[in-house]
Amino acid sequence: MSRVIVRIPTPLRPYTGGADEVEIEAATVGEALRSLGGRHEGLLARVCAADGSLRPFVNVYLGAENVRDLGGLDAPLPRDGAVLAIVPAVAGGAGSARERRLAELKASVPEVSPGEALARQAQGAALIDVREADEIAQGSPRGAFRLGRGFLELRIEEAIPDTDRAILVMCGGGTRSLFAAEGLQRLGYRNVASVMGGFSRWKAEGLPFETPRGLDPHARERYARHLTMPEVGEAGQRRLLDSRVLLIGAGGLGSPAGLYLAAAGVGTLGIVDHDVVDRSNLQRQVLHNDERIGQPKVESARRTLQGLNPSVKIETFAERLSSANVERILAGYDVVVDGSDNFPTRYLVNDACVHLQIPCVHGSVYRFEGQVSVFWPQCPQRRGPCYRCLYPEPPPAEFAPSCADAGVLGVLPGVVGLLEAVETVKLLLGLGDPLVGRLLHYDALHARFDEYHLVANPDCAVCAEGRPFPGYVDYEAFCATAA
């Protein structure tokens, strides 16, 4: 064994921490290079090919002699203090800071081919596309997390909480992904690799990808605060834009619910209301204004909502909801927001929603108090009750006077209607814990929220498991008889 000084050329010094000479103990040239590579990860691959031979653009000199003329890598090292110099081909000038930084990254971040990345993804690895939205719009690997380089460190923990999960980072050409992978390593992710050649090579090799439906620049600007949330993001916003929500009533509850659902980007809002705008409505029904007194509420609501968000489609039904038209109107909607102010309509909406398997977001107000719940017996998270389970029969008139008779604090429907909008967005995005099997009660005078647990009635006439739908009834007569 001999002690030999290996001289490191400038392009390879990032791998040796900047050292220009390294002392190695070895018997042959090849052994010295392998020992050098073992001490400085990534360096050997820049000097030797995969089969162990010297790369054609690298020469190694023992003293003044090229080792290729001395028997190659098997050439023995003659004595202690010999000098082994690595001399690669260079184009002149010093390496740029960018090149040195990339060399450092390549030494610390493993790289895999697109084909290997696809195989690892099939085995459970997470493939992260860190390109910008306009790049992703041209295509992205199927099943990839599209997080974007700018917000990667902020979003990664929500998307991939397991720091031991294998992660493959992809960009356009394989450079940005090295920086992104290093950032993930610093966050504590232990199994991170960069995809060589990025999406350009992925596509060139014919690997599967898709062209996701993107948002136009106006939508990106409008929904920017949603797009930065990992729980919503672009996929969630597209889901909202594809959603259909029906508002029962354009009054005190339908007004705040409609405004915030339109602002959130719910693609289609239906509004059912047969009434016209009255001056007494304006104390709480913020969809309307003084100039529209006497106009149909659905038309007034349409003008306000489209003024707020022109991209939302508004479907109007200027008719009284009845057993004859309820299925025609409700069919095709994802969620129904019940802001009705009378019991016949509430029972009718409940029965239709149970029959059509549509979640019903319920809200009601009385003077200084409000209630919110979600009636959805078919909820996959847990079986909840329907409105009939909670109230098999309507109360007598003295227990439930209308707003016109009892009055209502003008701002109270704003609180309850906003809570209905929150529950609706949660349902559309599949987020959180909806108010299924729970009744939220708000007491404005005491600024207090209380929650009550609700249980499905196993003998409910409408939603009991295995019981056929009994059909619609004359709800006006049902409520009058019960009262």
Q: Please write down the HEC assignment for all residues of 129-172.
A: ECCCHHHHCCCEECCCEECCHHHHHHHHHHHCCCCCCCEEEECC
Q: Are residues 379 and 452 in the same domain?
A: yes
Last residue within a domain, chosen from 33, 59, 94: 94
User: What integer pLDDT is reported at residue 2 of this predicted model?
Assistant: 86
How is 344-376 classified by DSSP, letter by letter? HHHHHHHHHHHHHT--EEEEEEEBTEEEEEEE-
Last residue within a domain, chosen from 156, 191, 210: 210
Task: Judge whether 367 lies within some domain.
Answer: yes
Euclidean distance between CA atoms 38 and 51, whole angstroms: 16
Q: Are residues 191 and 288 in the same domain?
A: no
Euclidean distance between CA atoms 178 and 42, whole angstroms: 14
Q: Are residues 278 and 196 in the same domain?
A: no
In 10 A of CB 401, how many CB atoms? 12
Amino acid 261 reads L
Q: Are residues 274 and 411 in the same domain?
A: yes
User: What integer pLDDT is reported at residue 26 of this predicted model?
Assistant: 92
Euclidean distance between CA atoms 82 and 24, whole angstroms: 10
Q: Are residues 366 and 432 in the same domain?
A: yes
Q: How many CA atoms lie less than 13 Å away from 92 in the CB half-sphere?
A: 0
User: What integer pLDDT is reported at residue 423 of this predicted model?
Assistant: 98
Euclidean distance between CA atoms 138 and 134, whole angstroms: 7
What is the model's pTM? 0.66
Task: Judge whether 141 lies within some domain.
Answer: yes
Q: Contact, 245 vs 334, CB < 8 A?
A: yes
Amino acid 120 reads R
The residue segments making up the domain with residue 130 are 109-210
Looking up tokens 């809002």 gives 269
Task: Judge whether 161 lies within some domain.
Answer: yes
Task: Judge whether 102 lies within some domain.
Answer: no
User: What integer pLDDT is reported at residue 351 of this predicted model?
Assistant: 96
User: What integer pLDDT is reported at residue 96 of this predicted model?
Assistant: 59
In total, how many domains does the chain have? 3
Q: Are residues 310 and 262 in the same domain?
A: yes
Q: Are residues 289 and 368 in the same domain?
A: yes
User: What integer pLDDT is reported at residue 475 of this predicted model?
Assistant: 85
Task: Name the residues annotated as catalytic.
Answer: 403
Task: Judge whether 218 lies within some domain.
Answer: no
Euclidean distance between CA atoms 374 and 363, whole angstroms: 9
Task: Give how far the C-alpha of residue 271 lies from the chain's centroid of Cα atoms, to the nearest Å.
Answer: 28
Euclidean distance between CA atoms 482 and 388, whole angstroms: 13
User: What integer pLDDT is reported at residue 99 of this predicted model?
Assistant: 74
Q: Packing angle between helix 152-159 and helix 176-186, nearest 10 degrees?
A: 60
User: What integer pLDDT is reported at residue 86 of this predicted model?
Assistant: 92
Q: Are residues 85 and 126 in the same domain?
A: no
Task: Judge whether 231 lies within some domain.
Answer: no
Q: Are residues 127 and 74 in the same domain?
A: no
How is 424-478 classified by DSSP, letter by letter? HHHHHHT-S--SBTEEEEEETTTTEEEEEE----TT-TTT-TTPPP-----HHHH
Sign, CA dihedral 290-296-302-305, equals positive
User: Going by DSSP bridges, is the β-strand pair 244-248/82-88 parallel, antiparallel, or unpaired?
Assistant: unpaired
Q: Given its phi and psi angles, is residue 432 left (phi above 0), alpha (psi -120 to 50 degrees) or beta? A: left
Q: Which residues in 456-469 are b (16+ Cβ under 10 Å) and which e?
A: bbeebebbbeeeee
How is 253-304 classified by DSSP, letter by letter? THHHHHHHHHHHT-SEEEEE---B--GGGGGT-TT--GGGTTSBHHHHHHHH
Q: Are residues 383 and 452 in the same domain?
A: yes
User: What integer pLDDT is reported at residue 92 of this predicted model?
Assistant: 56
CA gyration radius for the chain? 34
CATH of the domain at 372: 3.40.50.720
SS3 content of the chain, % helix, strand, coil (to 5): 40, 20, 40
Euclidean distance between CA atoms 39 and 34, whole angstroms: 9
Residues 6 or more apart in contact with residue 357 via CB below 8 angstroms: 378
pLDDT by residue for the chain (483 residues), tens only, comes to 889 999 998 888 888 888 889 999 999 999 999 999 999 888 888 899 888 899 888 899 998 899 999 989 999 998 888 899 999 886 555 455 677 788 888 888 999 999 999 999 999 999 999 998 888 888 999 999 988 888 898 889 988 999 999 999 999 999 999 999 999 999 999 999 999 999 999 999 999 999 877 788 899 899 999 988 888 988 899 999 999 999 999 999 999 999 999 999 999 999 999 999 999 999 999 999 999 999 999 999 999 999 999 999 999 999 999 999 999 999 999 999 999 988 899 999 999 999 999 999 999 998 999 999 999 999 988 889 999 998 888 766 555 555 555 678 999 999 999 999 999 999 999 999 999 999 999 999 999 999 999 999 999 999 999 899 999 988 887 776 655
In 10 A of CB 180, how many CB atoms? 25
User: Looking at residue 37, what DSSP letter applies?
Assistant: H
Euclidean distance between CA atoms 373 and 51, whole angstroms: 68
Task: Judge whether 237 lies within some domain.
Answer: no
Q: Are residues 280 and 391 in the same domain?
A: yes
Task: Judge whether 173 lies within some domain.
Answer: yes
Sign, CA dihedral 238-241-247-251, equals positive
CATH of the domain at 151: 3.40.250.10
Looking up tokens 């249980």 gives 455
Closest CA to 258 of 278, 242, 239, 273: 273
CATH of the domain at 86: 3.10.20.30
Last residue within a domain, chosen from 161, 185, 210: 210
Q: Are residues 122 and 88 in the same domain?
A: no
Three-state SS letters, 97-135: HHHHHHHHHHHHCCEECHHHHHHHHHCCCEEEECCCHHH
